[in-house]
Amino acid sequence: MTSSKIRFVTDSTCDIPPSLIAQYEIGVVPCYVNIGDKSYVDNGVELVREDFYRDMPTFEPKATTAAPPPAVAERIIRETFEGADHLFVICVSSKLSAVYNSMRLAISGLPEDRVTLIDSGMTTMGMGWQVLIGAETAAETGDVGAVKDAIARVQAHGKLFAGLNTLEYLRASGRVSWAAASIGTLLQIKPIVTVVDGEVVSAGRVRTFNRVIDQLAELVREQGPLDRLAVLHTMNEQGVQALLDRLDDILPADVLISTVTPVVGTHVGPGALAVAPLSKSWRN
């Protein structure tokens, strides 16, 4: 078997830590956050996450998001592809964003047999694990077929659950039809959501955020034994620690903890907590 140089491109909703982005030389196409009459690149520079979530409740109108123009995606894709034998482009669910279409247009000028475009059907680290395990497999094998197989298995077994402090931002996004009709905000209910077939669906509603943490812990335990776990938040470090305490006996060796990127946080609001567990069953 001839080993190939395989590279990866994803979008900024992935929430992969910068150190791992650098380690695997992953190209990241930024999405955009619109605040008032200004548009900001979601690249960790123009928007400081801590400041964004602190100020988020004061934005009027609420912040919105936008997919990258194909020209921006094409530039990063071509830079990443240079010197590679094959390129994997893995992006946020096409049912949640127009990013997939931007990526599709951006790769149109590249050799079809050397580029694989994948709709992750996910977002944040639900997608991030597909990218990272794909990159790990590429480093270990240099085999395009093995990478495709690994990504498909991660996609089949990966989960994403989020507990929101409020339904307000998800409803305002207009991306989730059931949220628009919900009375959760009026009742001060804390919604728990998941991603199924590329769409955000309700996974439960509880009265307090302490119960949100309990419920997330139960959902993670259902995925055990765990191969990987990411815990994500929109400035809720206390919630992160409380969740880790509840899961102490089943945690994998390295738990990835990250503040959610503003382009995702725009839709879930401040104070949210999310988990992206990956069962060991993906390896079978």
| Rg value, the chain, Cα | 18
Helices (H), the chain: 18-23, 49-55, 70-81, 99-106, 124-141, 144-157, 168-173, 177-180, 209-221, 237-246, 262-268
Tell me what pLDDT residue 146 has: 98
Q: What is the pLDDT of residues 2-21, one digit of tens each?
A: 578 999 999 999 999 999 99
Q: What is the pLDDT of residues 208-259, one digit of tens each?
A: 999 999 999 999 999 999 999 999 999 999 999 999 999 999 999 999 999 9
Task: State how far the Cα of 79 lies from the Cα of 74, in Å rounded to an integer.
Answer: 8
Say if residue 106's pLDDT is above 60: yes
Domains and CATH numbers, the chain: 6-31+67-155 (3.40.50.10170), 161-283 (3.30.1180.10)
Of 117-126, 177-186, 272-281, minimum mean pLDDT range: 177-186
> What confidence score (pLDDT) does residue 182 get?
58
Q: For residue range 165-208, what is the model confidence (pLDDT) as tens digits?
A: 988 898 887 766 666 555 555 567 899 999 999 999 989 989 99
pLDDT of residue 267: 94
Residue 65 in contact with residue 263, Cβ under 8 Å? yes
- pLDDT of 66-100, one tens digit each? 999 999 999 999 999 999 999 999 999 999 999 99
DSSP 209-248: HHHHHHHHHHHHHTTPSEEEEEEEESS-HHHHHHHHHHTT
User: Which pLDDT does position 184 carry in this prediction?
Assistant: 53
Mean pLDDT confidence for 135-162: 98
pLDDT, average across residues 53-69: 96
Q: By mean pLDDT, which of 2-6, 59-63, 123-127 is the weakest?
A: 2-6
The span from the CA of 231 to the CA of 244, in Å, is: 9
